[in-house]
Structure 1
Amino acid sequence: MLDSKFLNAMNISLDLALEAREIIRGETGQEIPGVRVDKDTYDHATVTTVHIEDQNAQTIMGKPVGKYITIEAPVIKENNQQAHREVAEILAEQLKNLINLPMELNVLVIGLGNWNATPDALGPKVVDQCLVTRHLYNYAPQELQGGMRPVSALAPGVLGTTGIETAEIVRGVVEKTRPSLIIAIDSLAARSVDRIATTIQVADTGINPGSGIGNKRAGINQETMGVRVIAIGVPTVTHAAIIAQDAIEKYINSTGGQPGDASSAIKNVLEPFGSNLTVTPKEIDILIEDTAQIIAGAINMAMHPGISPEDYGYYLH
């Protein structure tokens, strides 16, 4: 069974708090002290909220103290627009509960990732479909309806294409526009291939761009930005090392052998890639489009409850 020893040996961190809890509970056989879990079930989704409540739990989980909401919805991978709308509504409700701001306050939406790399393009694609209204308050107030909030949005790119740390760009925008909240969207890495494009995590702790695939970037959180940050992420890749480990264990178990530590052998195989190879499905372009539409729809519903989705097209550029 995949365990923390293997993850540490391969230098793999888990983006999903739900997966981190599953592995630690599997090793200890009991709930983690300082961690509380709530679960709700809907027609097309299961919502699990992991509360990390103290510093001890933070150390064990490797996640900051805060709330991590995971929406598991395999229906996202199906061509079912009505089900996608229901998942968006569930996400919108979770966002509304976390936002908790007067309607006149400004919100900044940040689409993290590289628009030139499909598995990493989720953030920019969400921003493309977000209903931005901050400029209308200054230049076209007559176009506004009741129940709309000032929203601005930015896809800042990645260090490799801009030469600038993403956190530096975001911090500069925050200093100029002074939002009361940041919503950051990013692609994640999952432990399980089943969670690719079927799981949405919402966290009130901010985000570290690229952390799940070994890129240690400056964090986008309340400490670095001076404003609350809600992070929305969807797994779009998984680690080749994890797939290899799972395959080895299944083979050994099927032949009656005993599973062992395969980390050294896997490292050798992945050495040409610095032991850091990630894998994504061939249909990732379609999955990114669908998840981006769901997340953008949820953000629009949460930000602008006074207008219907049918009216979004009037405001989208």
Structure 2
Amino acid sequence: MDREFLKSMGVSLDLALEAREIVRGETGQEVPGVRVDKETYDHASVTTVYIEDESAQAIMGKPVGKYITIEAPVIRENDPDAHRQVAEVLAEQLKKMFDLPMEANILVVGLGNWNATPDALGPRVVDNCLVTRHLFNYAPQSLQGGMRPVSAIAPGVLGITGIETAEIVQGVTGRVKPELIIAIDSLAARSVDRIATTIQLADTGINPGSGIGNKRAGINQETMGVKVIAIGVPTVASAALIAQDAIEKYLKNTNAQAGVTNEAIKSVLEPFGGNLTVTPKEIDTLIEDTAHIIAGGISMALHPEVNPDDYAYYLH
């Protein structure tokens, strides 16, 4: 798989880790201007990719910044204890990305379409996130120590609201005046193995809908005026890349000559404009479990002294 094929199919890579893997596969060496750190936990591995200069940005196709990838196949399993441990890893990594006092005001933004399950991760996270700003304003006696004022919004998508998502978030930001925005969105993966097993955190913000070929205004520090941390999970994969992988494996296993071209793949996908994406049949359960993990990780990071067992008391 090379960058030329991705470009020809109009596929962009949401995960910095996958972009690095493809470039390294082509060159056989580390990308100049890219630095990588790795950590290992019981149920997850963490890879941090630092894109440090504009030359690396051009090669990787990702903005200069810090990208933390948590790989945890256990997310797909029915194991609540393991899911809680993954949430704890997420909280630990998230806390490394901001340095704010306890009184800092945080806005959580759940991006995506709540009517389309693979795109509903952001709204589902908002449903389960521990929001407290209203309590600080109207019921301070209900609060305990170690809590921050947190508000949350699921602004929907352009096709539902008729309003650019970034415009809605800008409007809310202007009124709420947060010191930090945490935006959650569904991503597209290059590999089906990463669907609902991988969580990416980035300090570069996010472009809603970019993973399925859309061009939308970004939600980042430049457009919002405050720091934006993006959290994303792949929920779909490109059919073109799946087809290419299948062809490559078939040719390798049979020692056959390449007889299927990129044009053939394009012709098969032509009814969908070449942008067909696929998602697992169990996506409903995967979204629900992943949303709980991410909401738990965010709540642990923002309210460090609150026992997760007490979250239910504050939820809605």
Q: TM-score range by the shorter chain?
A: over 0.9
Deviation of 1:261 after TM superposition, in Å, equals: 6.9
Deviation of 1:260 after TM superposition, in Å, equals: 6.6
Match of 2:202 in 1: 203
Separation (CA, whole Å) in 1 of partners of 2:233 and 2:125 = 12
Match of 2:132 in 1: 133
Separation (CA, whole Å) in 2 of partners of 1:260 and 1:164 = 46
Residues 253 and 259, structure 1, Cα contact 8 Å, conserved in 2: no
**Per-residue deviation, residues 30-86 of structure 1 (Å, max 9, x unmatched):** 100000000001111100000000111011101011000000000000111111011
Aligned residues: 316
Match of 1:51 in 2: 50
Separation (CA, whole Å) in 1 of partners of 2:41 and 2:25 = 26
The aligned runs of 1:257-276 (5 Å cut-off) are 257-259=256-258, 262-276=261-275
Deviation of 1:212 after TM superposition, in Å, equals: 1.1
Separation (CA, whole Å) in 2 of partners of 1:74 and 1:6 = 28
Deviation of 1:262 after TM superposition, in Å, equals: 2.3
**Per-residue deviation, residues 233-291 of structure 1 (Å, max 9, x unmatched):** 00000000001111111112222123477221111111100111000000000000000
Match of 1:294 in 2: 293
Separation (CA, whole Å) in 1 of partners of 2:304 and 2:42 = 23
**Per-residue deviation, residues 186-236 of structure 1 (Å, max 9, x unmatched):** 000000000000000000000001111101111000001011000000000
Match of 2:22 in 1: 23
**Per-residue deviation, residues 134-167 of structure 1 (Å, max 9, x unmatched):** 1111111111111000000000000000000000
Residues 6 and 261, structure 1, Cα contact 8 Å, conserved in 2: no
**Residues 138 and 202 from structure 1, CA distance in 2 versus in 1: closer, same or farther, beyond 3 angstroms?**
same
Match of 1:181 in 2: 180
Separation (CA, whole Å) in 2 of partners of 1:151 and 1:109 = 7
Separation (CA, whole Å) in 2 of partners of 1:11 and 1:119 = 20
Residues 39 and 48, structure 1, Cα contact 8 Å, conserved in 2: yes
Runs (4 or more) in structure 1 with deviation over 6 Å come to none
Local SS of the residue matching 2:97: helix
Separation (CA, whole Å) in 2 of partners of 1:19 and 1:260 = 27
Local SS of the residue matching 2:11: coil
**Per-residue deviation, residues 70-120 of structure 1 (Å, max 9, x unmatched):** 000000001111110110000000111112101101000000000000000
TM-score of the pair, normalised by structure 1: 0.98
Separation (CA, whole Å) in 2 of partners of 1:102 and 1:34 = 32
Q: What's the Cα RMSD here? A: 0.9
The aligned runs of 1:115-194 (5 Å cut-off) are 115-194=114-193
**Residues 267 and 34 from structure 1, CA distance in 2 versus in 1: closer, same or farther, beyond 3 angstroms?**
same
Deviation of 1:306 after TM superposition, in Å, equals: 1.6
Local SS of the residue matching 2:107: strand
**Residues 38 and 247 from structure 1, CA distance in 2 versus in 1: closer, same or farther, beyond 3 angstroms?**
same
**Residues 241 and 36 from structure 1, CA distance in 2 versus in 1: closer, same or farther, beyond 3 angstroms?**
same
Pick which of 60-69 and 253-262 moved more: 253-262
Separation (CA, whole Å) in 2 of partners of 1:261 and 1:201 = 34
Deviation of 1:131 after TM superposition, in Å, equals: 0.8
**Residues 146 and 260 from structure 1, CA distance in 2 versus in 1: closer, same or farther, beyond 3 angstroms?**
farther
Tell me which amino acid in the other structure corresponds to 1:124: P
Local SS of the residue matching 1:99: coil
